[in-house]
């Protein structure tokens, strides 16, 4: 079976309580200072009385899937057979629901361990269509979230936009998107800001629910997040949405100047009459307003 003896007998070692506390602090610091790398984060941890070296910080950040925002050199090349998808949102005016959906993954600290959270959000209304928790970074839980989003909406979007993480570039996720007749768009170099809506969602989720409740395990985290997203979609007023809720904008777009969500027959770029390309307005709606 070509399995080594050490791999067969290996028993995974959980992170220590001290490391979990450091990871919790790193997650909070990253939300406050997303441009800080391992060096500055190490300094901030030491200022707070945490005795930690940079090597440990680098390892934990890599484990959490967190990277600082900074201009990168062209150091990595795609592997053989890796398909690069173009960025399709440049110059588009998003004026209704189910035109663009976006997805992203974040780290979820808990009292006794950690998990990962993925969400699928409608870009125009900020309505969270589906979400999933997982204790690994495999692509399967992202595919489940996408399929749940299709079931929740009852229709498909024109475009699915993600970053170029391994989960979203995996053949399984790409096939799930394309088999639904949806075009794949991925953030390229210099397009990190296009995740700002869902990144702002992560900030809201963590400060308003996860950090306050300090869930002890994945079961309690799942129950708590279910309550939070229900409130987020249907009760919580959003300043950027004229103090309405995402569900209001998603279910009744005409009441807020949006186009109706009837895009099932629009599957080619030439058919996107509802998505207007404007050279004079190259950015998306609410480019200066990232508040929720």
Quote the pLDDT of residue 245: 95
How far apart (Å, rounded) are the C-alpha atoms in residues 25 and 107?
12
Q: Is 49 exposed, middle or buried (0-12, 13-18, 19+ CB in 10 A)?
A: exposed
How far apart (Å, rounded) are the C-alpha atoms in residues 57 and 276?
45
Q: Is 198 exposed, middle or buried (0-12, 13-18, 19+ CB in 10 A)?
A: buried
Q: How many CA atoms lie within 13 A of 55 on its CB side?
A: 0
How far apart (Å, rounded) are the C-alpha atoms in residues 251 and 218?
31
**Under a CB-based contact definition with an 8 Å cutoff, are residues 114 and 107 in contact?**
yes
Backbone phi and psi for residue 134, each to the nearest 5 degrees, phi listed first: -150, 150
Quote the pLDDT of residue 272: 45
For the packed helices 54-64 and 38-47, what is the interaxial angle rounded to 10 degrees?
110
Quote the pLDDT of residue 91: 80
Coil, strand or helix at 63: helix
How far apart (Å, rounded) are the C-alpha atoms in residues 290 and 292?
7
Quote the pLDDT of residue 220: 94
Position of tokens 């749940």?
A: 148
Distance of CA 126 to the CA centre of its chain: 12
Quote the pLDDT of residue 262: 46
Position of tokens 């079931």?
A: 151
Specify the DSSP element, H or E, that contains 118.
Answer: strand 113-122
Quote the pLDDT of residue 111: 85
How far apart (Å, rounded) are the C-alpha atoms in residues 8 and 219?
29
Q: Strands 128-134 and 276-277, how do they pair?
A: unpaired
How far apart (Å, rounded) are the C-alpha atoms in residues 66 and 116?
11
Regions in the chain scoring below 50 on pLDDT: 75, 262-292
How far apart (Å, rounded) are the C-alpha atoms in residues 46 and 90?
42
pTM of the model: 0.74
């Amino acid at each position: 079976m070509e399995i080594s003896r050490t791999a067969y007998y290996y028993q995974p070692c959980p992170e220590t309580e001290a490391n979990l506390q450091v990871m919790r602090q790193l997650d909070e610091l990253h939300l406050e200072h997303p441009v800080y790398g391992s060096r500055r984060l190490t300094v901030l941890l030491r200022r707070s009385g945490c005795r930690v070296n940079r090597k440990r910080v680098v390892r934990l950040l890599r484990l959490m899937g967190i990277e600082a925002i900074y201009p990168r050199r062209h150091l990595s090349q795609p592997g053989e057979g890796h398909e690069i998808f173009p960025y399709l949102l440049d110059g588009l005016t998003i004026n209704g629901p189910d035109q663009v959906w976006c997805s992203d993954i974040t780290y979820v600290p808990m009292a006794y361990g950690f998990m990962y959270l993925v969400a699928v959000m409608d870009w125009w209304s900020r309505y969270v269509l589906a979400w999933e928790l997982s204790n690994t970074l495999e692509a399967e839980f992202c595919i489940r979230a996408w399929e749940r989003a299709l079931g929740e909406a009852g229709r498909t979007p024109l475009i699915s936009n993600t970053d170029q993480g391994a989960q979203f570039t995996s053949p399984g996720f790409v096939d799930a998107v394309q088999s639904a007749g949806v075009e794949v768009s991925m953030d390229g170099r210099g397009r990190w800001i296009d995740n700002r809506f869902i990144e702002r969602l992560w900030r809201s989720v963590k400060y308003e629910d996860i950090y306050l409740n300090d869930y002890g395990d994945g079961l309690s985290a799942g129950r708590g997040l279910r309550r939070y997203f229900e409130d987020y979609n249907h009760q919580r007023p959003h300043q950027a949405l004229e103090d309405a809720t995402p569900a209001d904008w998603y279910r009744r777009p005409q009441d807020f100047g949006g186009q109706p969500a009837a895009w099932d027959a629009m599957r080619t770029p030439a058919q996107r009459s509802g998505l207007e390309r404007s050279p004079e307005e190259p950015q998306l709606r609410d480019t200066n307003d990232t508040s929720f």
